[in-house]
Each structure stands twice: as structure tokens, then as C-alpha cells.
A and B are shown apart, each in its own frame.
Chain A
Amino acid sequence: MTFQFLSPKSSSYTNKVDVDGDIDMLLKTERENFETQVVTPGEIITSDTQYMRGHGTFTTEKNQRLSSVAGVVEHVNKLISVRSLHARYTGDIGDLVIGRITEVSQRRWKVDINSRQDAVLLLSAINLPGGIQRRKTEADELQMRKFFSEGDLLVAEVQGTFQDGSSSLHTRNSKYGKLRNGSFVIVPQALVQRCKTHFHTLPCGVDLTLGLNGYIWVSKHTTQTAEELEIYSNENEEIDQENRESIARVCNSISVLSRHFMCINDKMIMLAYEASLNFLVKDLLKLDVMEVIISEVSEKMTLLKAGVRR
């Protein structure tokens, strides 16, 4: 039980120096080819008038394209838009999201999915326990809190979006449903990459569910199949010391990545996890340890990238 006080320190992103003190000597022109352009509000993106302005941009009298948000520039042919880094999540059909029930109402649940408005989960869009297929009756409507009640975390898929930007969810798949046996991490939504699968089992015996809305669930690996497990139960399994520690380590590795704004997928998390093995789990919250891990991860990333380019 020691207390550590530190003074604020500016980050050393401008000149990239690795662990050995070597400076990145890539030519600036060369780097621009594969590095994304990051802009702040009011920054000139281009003075070229042939480009059209998209979301997150505006024009001045001199016909310059300026950014109205802080984010990364995206080009689609002649259309320039800026994707904000701290924007809220906007649902797309088929996205896997993690949400938290905020309200139980008539035949539907309201779900917080880090979006501008709460999403809806209709009673008709969930699976009944035991996998029975039938129309939902009034009796089901009366026991909606037995399925999901306020505060419950669930993993779902976006079924559709509405005109006002809100979305409707469904959990009609054995992979979806209530979340148990683990802990919850929040990261900026822009960091989570769209992948082939968002359910991962890491080699350290930890299950990982990456929600595209920036909510992440890290839990103990279960071998139970959907049939033998009560899908709406709130009971946790017994989690031993070792499992608890690896769950905490994965959670902290994710926070380290998100704090340094690095993209989050299973590969990156594993790189951070491996780099973190030299430290105690609770030391991963320390800023100097974080920097060591991040430099190790980015080093491995550049190696991987170089391999791909060749």
C-alpha cells in the first residue's frame, strides 16, 4: 500500500524513439503513403477545389476544405470526409455489439450501446430458453425481467437501423445473449476493427467478445454448449485465482492499447498480453510500464507490417 505521485509529462509522440533510442528514419514522403492523416478541428485538409466535402468537413471562402472534428481523413474517390475519433457509435446492419439494458418497457428493452440513442431489443427478437420456437405470448411479456432486467449486459447483433439513427437489435443465435463470468472494458469505438469474427478464445484461457461499439467483454473460457447452459441465468461459474488474474491481465492490456490509441483486435491484444507478462498485473496501470508495453507492441507491429509489404 504505497502511494505514487507523478508530475504531468508530455508524451513523446513527435519524434518516435524506440527502446534503444533509435529514431525512425523513414522518409517523410515514404511514410505518407501508408500513414493515415490525422486532423484537428479547423485544420486545412486540402486546398484543391476538385474534392467534394463529406461528413466532418466544411469549406471557407477561399474554397479550402477544413476539418470540423478531430479524427482521421478518409477518401472515397473525390469525396473527403473526416471520421471523428471520439464519436459515438452508429449502428450498421450485421454489426456485433455489446449493450446494457437501461429500461424494460412494452414488448421491448432499451439497450445502451454507446450510441446517440438507446437501441431497442424487441421481445420477438430474442430466443426463448430451451430453444423453443413459438410466438411470444402475453405470459412472456409479463416475465420479461426474467430474460433481461435493468443493468444486464448482453451481446447482440444490429438487425436494422431507423431514420433517426437508433437501431434495433436481435439475439436470435446461440452465440448471443447474456454475458457472465467476466469483466467489462470500455474503449473508444473507433479503435475496434471490423473482423471476420468478434468472438475469440485467447491461448491464455480467456474468452473475448469485441463489440463494435467499443464495449468489450473479457470472460473465463467456457466449454459448456448453449443447450446445457441456462441462457438467461445470472449465476457465475467458479473462477479460480489464476483465471481471475489472466482476465485482469487481458483487461489491462486492452486499456493500455486504448489509452495509447492503438487499434484493438485479437492479434494486438495478444501482442500486448505477451509484452505484459514481464510485469505484475496491477503494475500494468502504471504509466511507465504502459509505455514500455506500447513501444514493444508497436515494434512488433512494424516488423509484421514490413513482412507483409515485402
Chain B
Amino acid sequence: MPPTLISPSENDYIIRGVDSNIRADGRGRLDYRQVILETGLITQASGSARCRLGEGTDVLVGVKVEFGAVELDGADEDVAEIKAKRGRVICNVECSPIASQQFAGRGADDFNNELTQMLDRVLNGPQSGLNLEKLCIIPGQHCWIVYIDAIVLDYAGNILDTIFMTTRAALYSTRIPKTIIQERGDGEIEFDILDDVEECERIEGWDKVPVAITLNKIGSRHIVDATPLEELTTEAKLLVTVNKDGKVCGLQKSGGGSIEPSLLIDMVQTGRSLGQSLIQSLDEMLQREENDINLKRAQKERKLGFFAAT
């Protein structure tokens, strides 16, 4: 159970530790903990992933693709027209009450909302990189709706970064069934969903989905991948979301403290370069995992029983 309060002497110890570049667990300011990643654990979902940050923070993300009606209302006609040709992404983040004492009862409600909003804001716009137009099946009628559900199973600091990288991994493993559109004579359009597992495709633009780096301002410096005690010491947090090309896709500042302009620029720069190398290592890992699975599948192509007879 991570603590929810901090004593002034611990606070001071952490601030001075950050200043001299030795944190309480011996890491430097910009050191990240190891990540244990696994994809495709939920068989019922279209795609899933689970990340554990240093065996502490534990996030499970499931992606489910379902077809539904396109969103028809909009602020004005132009918006409505664009929306009618698009698929949708719906995010939901939930913190399990077993993860931390602060999530028990109704304690997690506000935090869940905050996390959901954050994920939604980043993934539901052009900055997400997902090709939403491709998710439309019949313009003005049917589209794919991508439900992204994240659950925080354990908490040891730095939830947002973990949620974002797990989401990217889950979207990587997501497969959408192919559809065949048939035009009937009377102008009606019908479509069929192919249920062949081999005939599925990835969500276009998964590789452009950004990841997040949270920078915590402690004292006059900033750190990444904070532990719960460090998060309690944090004066201000800056979340930088970065995509593969090193483009900043979103910024959010939270916490009561202030950030000086010079430090802000420095923080965004750090976030950018860290985010880019995070994506690179994440993609390498995903590629490695897929290769392993393909290798295993190739080896197991041995027919059994009466299949073997022919």
C-alpha cells in the first residue's frame, strides 16, 4: 500500500536527493524503471496489453472493436459532415481499489475521470495519428467504434506514462475484421463482416499513436518516472505526449506549483527526446514479441488426429 501522506523530513530528503541526482532508490533524474510488457492476453478482446513498471505499477488495457452508428450531431453542418465519415474512439480508465488506499470507495472517481479525459483528448483528435476515416464502413451510417479500456491493477507511481505505453501496445495488437460492402440496386448499401481470423487488419496509424512522459518538478529540477513518495513531493507535473516523429501531441500541466518559462522549455525538450526513445524501444519490444509468436506458430504446424491422416 503506497503512503498517501509524506513527512517534512522525507520531503526534504527527496528534494535534496533530486538536486544531487541521487534519488531515494539510487536512480538518476532521468532514469526509467524496467518495463515488463505482454500483449494479446485477453482472448475476447480485439487487442490487449499489460505493462508492469518495475513490478510496481500494473496496467491492463483491452481494445474492443465493435460496429455502430456514426455520430450524426455536430456543432454545425461542417462538423457534422466530417463526423459522419468517421469512426470513433471511446476511452475509459479505471483504478482498481486494491491498487492503493486512495482509490478505495469513491476516492478513485475524480482520478478516473482525469485519466479518462487525458487519454480521450490525446486519442480522439488528429494528433492521435489513428486514421478515423478508415474506420468508417458506410459514410453517414455505420462505423467501427474502438473501445479502449484501461484498468490500473497496482500503483507504484507514474500511472499515466504506463497507461499510454500500454495503450500503444494494445493498439498494435488490435485486429479489425475486414468488411465487404455490397450495393443493392435500390441505393441501399449493405455490408458483411468477414469472421476469418487471418483476414484481419491493423488499425491504420497505430504507429503514429503518441506516448506520454510525465515530468515532475521537484525543487528547481525535474524528474521522470516518479515513485509514490516522489509524486507527493512534486510541486507541478507536466505531461508531454510525443509521437514517433518527435512531434509534441499534447501538453498538460497539473499540480499546484508553478513552472518557470526556461524550465518549461527544458522540460518539453526532455519529454520529447525521452518519448521518442521510449517509442523506439517499445516498438522493438513489440516486434520481438511478434517474431517469437510467429516462430512458435510456425513450429506448431503439426496436424493431429484425423487431420493428420490426409
Query: Quick check: which of B3-11, B84-92, B114-122, B196-204 contacts chain A, the rest being far away?
Result: B3-11
Segment of B19-27, B70-78, B171-179 engaged in the interface with chain A: B19-27
Interface centre among A114, A150, A153, by most B CB within 10 Å? A153
Verify if A305 is at the interface (C-beta below 8 Å from B). no
- A234: CB under 8 A from chain B? yes
Would you give the 0/1 interface string for A66-99, flagging 1 where the beta carbon is closer than 8 Å to chain B?
Answer: 0000000000000000000000000000000000
The segment out of A35-43, A130-138, A180-188 that lies at the interface is A180-188
**Cross-chain contact B281 with A236 (CB below 8 angstroms):** no
User: Are A282 and B31 closer than 8 Å at their CB atoms?
Assistant: yes
Tell me the bound Cα distance from A19 to B13 in angstroms.
38
Q: With the chains together, A234 CA to B9 CA distance in Å?
A: 5
Nearest-CB residue, chain A, relative to B37: A5
Q: Does B151 contact A (CB under 8 A)?
A: no
Contacts of B229 in A (CB 8 A): 183-184
Contacts of A244 in B (CB 8 A): 17, 20, 22
Interface size on B, residues (CB 8 A): 44
Is B285 among interface residues, defined by CB-CB distance under 8 A? yes
List B residues 98-149 near A (Cβ within 8 Å): none
In Å, the complex CA distance between A152 and B17 comes to: 19
Whether A282 lies near B54 (C-beta < 8 A) is no
- Give the Cβ gap from B286 to chain A, nearest Cβ, in Å: 9
Contact residues of A between 237 and 256, Cβ < 8 Å to B? 239, 241, 244-245, 247-249, 251-252, 255
Given contacts A1-B274, A151-B6, contact A7 B26 (CB under 8 A): no
A-B contact number at CB 8 A: 128
Question: Which residues of A sit under 8 angstroms from B38, Cβ to Cβ?
Answer: 7-8
Q: Do A248 and B10 touch (CB < 8 A)?
A: no
By beta carbon, the residue of chain B nearest A283 is B26
From A151, A186, A280, A285, give the contact of B33 (CB < 8 A).
A285
B170 to chain A, nearest CB (A): 15
Contact A236 B37 (CB under 8 A): no
Contact of B282 (CB < 8 Å), options: A3, A8, A182, A280: A3
Q: Determine if B7 and A282 form an interchain contact, defined as CB atoms under 8 angstroms apart.
A: no
B35 close to A4 (CB less than 8 A): yes
The size bracket of the interface on A is: 35 or more
Could you mark each residue 244-278 of chain A with 1 if its beta carbon is under 8 Å from any beta carbon of chain B, else 0?
11011101100100010000000000000000000
Interchain CA distance A112-B101 in the complex, whole Å: 12
Are B22 and A151 in touch, CB under 8 angstroms? no
The contact string, 1 if C-beta is below 8 Å from chain A, for chain B 15-46, is 01100101111111011111111100000000
Instruction: Give every chain B residue within 8 A of A234 (Cβ-Cβ).
Output: 7-9, 12
Taking A2-B32, A2-B277, A150-B5 as given, write out 7 further A-B residue pairs in contact, using a Cβ cutoff of 8 Å, ordered by the A residue number: A1-B273, A6-B36, A7-B289, A153-B10, A183-B10, A244-B22, A285-B54
Interface residues of chain B, those whose CB is within 8 Å of chain A, are 1-3, 5-10, 12-13, 16-17, 20, 22-28, 30-38, 52, 54-55, 229, 273-274, 277-278, 281-282, 284-285, 289, 292
